[in-house]
Amino acid sequence: MSDLHSEELLAQVAALPALPGVYRYFDAQDALLYVGKALNLKRRVSSYFQKNHGGTRIGHMVGKIVRMETTVVRSEAEALLLENNLIKTLNPKFNILFRDDKSYPYLKITGTASATGDAPGQVFPRMAYYRGAVDKKHRYFGPYPSAWAVKESIQLLQKVFRLRTCEDTVFANRTRPCLLYQIKRCTGPCVQLISPEAYAADVMHAEALLRGETQELLQALEARMMAHSDKLEFEQAAELRNQMQALSRVLHQQAIETADDKDVDILAVRVQGGRACVNLAMVRGGRHLGDRPYFPVHVEDAAGVFAQESDEETPPDAQPLRPVEALVLEAFIGQHYIGVPVPPLLVTSVPVDKALLAALTEQSGLRVSAIHQPREQRRAWLDMAQKNADLQLARLLAEEGSQQARTRALAEALDLPPEDLDQLTIECFDISHTAGESTQASCVVFHHHKMQSSEYRRYKIEGITGGDDYAAMRQVLTRRYSKVAEAAREAGGIDFAAHPAPGGQEAARPKGVARLPDLVLIDGGKGQVGVAREVFTALGLDLTRIVGVEKGERRKVGLEELVFADGRGKIYLGKDSAALMLVAQIRDEAHRFAITGMRAARAKVRVGGGQLEEIAGVGPKKRARLLQRFGGVRGVAMASVEDLVTVDGISRELAEEIYRALR
């Protein structure tokens, strides 16, 4: 194996220290292949280059290594943390990688417990759904696995403690209580129907419930109720009695009245067919909040590398073969808890490496433990998480199989090469506008058997006659593909298609230049396809890639026909065709993306473009008065001219200008 590598690389390997650290391998294109950690860098890295790994996955990876980077750290825990940080941020090809583009939601209670002030958020704190970075100005509870779990918790607190949820601007301008007060979901602090002291007690009790201090909370409520009763304050005692009854009902429904575990994460893993699912269920404050599935990538390649890695301290013949499930779960734990608080207990479906738990403990400052053979309530939680992992993975495999069948069916219907269908790339365009104004074009992208939302693009169409869809299509196609054509001409006529050249690399395509997809779907018939043909002919691009989706008779779904720009006759695929299902899926996604963009642009014009600060004559003071009077920009936009002139400093002329700008 060493004959395949440069003397410089082998010398670098030989000079490595016998210290803990992290190593990174790169290929000839400087793409990151693998990130690993080691207690002894010299021993671990040398093992890759001293053995003949044959045609295995690890052999395939080692054969590509041309460059290496290493980082020495102080301990195995530091190495684990750095390894997972690099995997999460750099996306190496031969590591198990969990992608999570969504931040977790929290339940926020405004203000801090020790703060004082006249602001509504301090005197009468508000509880709200929140997603984003947390700060010290407010109190946060969570994270929660889903928005639904947060909203359910808010409803629970509304029932028991009746805390407010309204925005501060609305709160400050109320003259009578809203509907939530009428249905006993709020105590009406906006119109002083509860004292700040009593409201603060409700906030304190709500926080205790969120922390899982249920028994202490019930005892405190009972003590307060008895104290009011002894003072003959029966109305206040009755309110506390009602709170206790509501709280008892909630605890009974949630089945947490005797729960000992307050904060626990339950992790179940399932691996099948080269894919994996980790199902994470969260228990916070003793309440089971629901779960969320995660699907890693690179499982087969990474498992192949892990399987042949040797333990540095154990002889090869004494090393147990680690199951893929354990590798997947440890990869998830290492990457997931980089940006999410780790609870003190993890209940897992397979054992977890003690070194990983030690690293989490060192990172969080909280002693983290894990059990994989739980009993009683924990066993019920784990069984439920495992069942959900099985169901989610089965669903994923079924969907992927269905999508792959659709891709193959479309390739067969259009006589596309059947090889490497994973790389089959389709782009679809749609035009949208509002009565001829605010014209936008949308482009959605499909490859690897699924829609790639990160590659979607919107184009603002300008300089055309309103409602001229043909001109809009001509403009967006020219803007989208002119750079591809220009790069091809500069490279001597090379067509930068989605299919890579032999050796796995794309044909000399300059870095950053878009490639021409295998299919360009146009939502339209002969007219739109004719425009696309003109653009492609002018740019010198391949006409066979253009396919129009023409509405069928009476525009009935399932009767669509495919129209081609290269002179081929129309194709009717049949309403039950898997190929037509894929075409319809991509076209509908382009239409959805176009509609959402159009609505956002329209909303910006109506309420946001017209933001108050952009209106001549509305300075900071007048803007503040308007927002305070009407509770926000939306309220100002809904106000009539007569309403606007009642605000101090707003003349009729200015009121009319504001009315026009925001509508």
**pLDDT tens digit sequence for 344-387:** 999 999 999 898 999 999 888 889 999 999 988 899 999 999 99
Six-digit token string for 218: 């019930």
Using alpha carbons, select from 639, 617, 616, 641 the residue that is nearest to residue 627: 639
Average pLDDT on 546-571 reads: 80
Residue 42 — pLDDT band, cuts 50, 70, 90?
Answer: very high
264-310+322-394 in CATH: which number? 3.30.420
Give me the pLDDT at residue 137, please. Answer: 85
421-600 in CATH: which number? 3.30.420.340
Q: In percent, how much of the chain has pLDDT > 90?
A: 27
Give me the pLDDT at residue 143, please. Answer: 84
Q: How far apart are CA 612 and CA 624, in angstroms?
A: 10
Residue 556 CA: distances (Å) to CA of 527, 553, 560, 662: 19, 6, 8, 39
Give me the pLDDT at residue 611, please. Answer: 62
**Range scoring the smallest mean pLDDT among 87-91, 310-314, 435-439:** 310-314
Asked if the model's pLDDT at residue 122 lies above 80, the reply is no
CATH superfamily membership of 609-661: 5' to 3' exonuclease, C-terminal subdomain (1.10.150.20)
Asked if the model's pLDDT at residue 597 lies above 80, the reply is no
Give me the pLDDT at residue 504, please. Answer: 41
Give me the pLDDT at residue 233, please. Answer: 75
The H or E element containing residue 293 is strand 287-294
Asked if the model's pLDDT at residue 494 lies above 60, the reply is no
Average pLDDT on 447-460 reads: 90
Question: Count of alpha carbons within 13 Å of 540, Cβ hemisphere only?
Answer: 13
User: Which option is the CATH number for 2-90: 3.60.21.10, 3.40.1440.10, 1.10.1740.10, 3.30.565.10?
Assistant: 3.40.1440.10
Q: How far apart are CA 491 and CA 516, in angstroms?
A: 14
Give me the pLDDT at residue 260, please. Answer: 64
pTM above 0.75, yes or no: no
Asked if the model's pLDDT at residue 50 lies above 60, the reply is yes
User: Residue 619: how many CB atoms within 10 A of its CB?
Assistant: 12
3-state secondary structure of 258: coil
Residue scoring higher pLDDT (656 or 242):
656
Residue 502 — pLDDT band, cuts 50, 70, 90?
Answer: very low
Residue 530 — pLDDT band, cuts 50, 70, 90?
Answer: very high
Residue scoring higher pLDDT (161 or 347):
347
Asked if the model's pLDDT at residue 56 lies above 80, the reply is no
Give me the pLDDT at residue 349, please. Answer: 95
Asked if the model's pLDDT at residue 318 lies above 50, the reply is no
Average pLDDT on 426-437 reads: 81
- Domain extent listing, the chain: 2-90, 105-211, 264-310+322-394, 421-600, 609-661
Give me the pLDDT at residue 248, please. Answer: 67
**Dmax of the chain from CA atoms?**
95
Give me the pLDDT at residue 389, please. Answer: 93
User: Residue 537: how many CB atoms within 10 A of its CB?
Assistant: 11
Six-digit token string for 260: 């000992």
Residue 317 — pLDDT band, cuts 50, 70, 90?
Answer: very low
Using alpha carbons, select from 464, 466, 483, 488 the residue that is nearest to residue 474: 464
Is 609-661 the same fold as 264-310+322-394?
Answer: no
Residue 514 — pLDDT band, cuts 50, 70, 90?
Answer: low
Residue 436 — pLDDT band, cuts 50, 70, 90?
Answer: low
Q: What is the mean pLDDT of the chain?
A: 82
Residue 309 — pLDDT band, cuts 50, 70, 90?
Answer: low
For 503-532, what is the HEC assignment?
A: CCCCCCCCCCCCCECCEEEECCCHHHHHHH
Give 110-123 as a DSSP string.
-S-TT---SSHHHH
3-state secondary structure of 318: helix
Give me the pLDDT at residue 34, please. Answer: 94
Residue scoring higher pLDDT (100 or 252):
100
The H or E element containing residue 476 is helix 469-490
**Range scoring the smallest mean pLDDT among 11-15, 23-27, 198-202, 227-231:** 227-231
Average pLDDT on 314-343 reads: 78
Six-digit token string for 11: 């010398």
Residue scoring higher pLDDT (348 or 299):
348
Cβ pair 612, 636 in contact under 8 A:
yes
**Range scoring the smallest mean pLDDT among 248-257, 426-435, 507-516, 522-531:** 248-257
Predicted confidence (pLDDT) per residue in 22-39, tens digit: 999 999 999 999 999 999
| Dihedral sign from CA coordinates of 652, 658, 660, 663 | negative
Give me the pLDDT at residue 467, please. Answer: 75
Asked if the model's pLDDT at residue 266 lies above 60, the reply is yes
Amino acid identity of residue 629, one-letter, is R
Give me the pLDDT at residue 609, please. Answer: 40
Residue 475 — pLDDT band, cuts 50, 70, 90?
Answer: very high
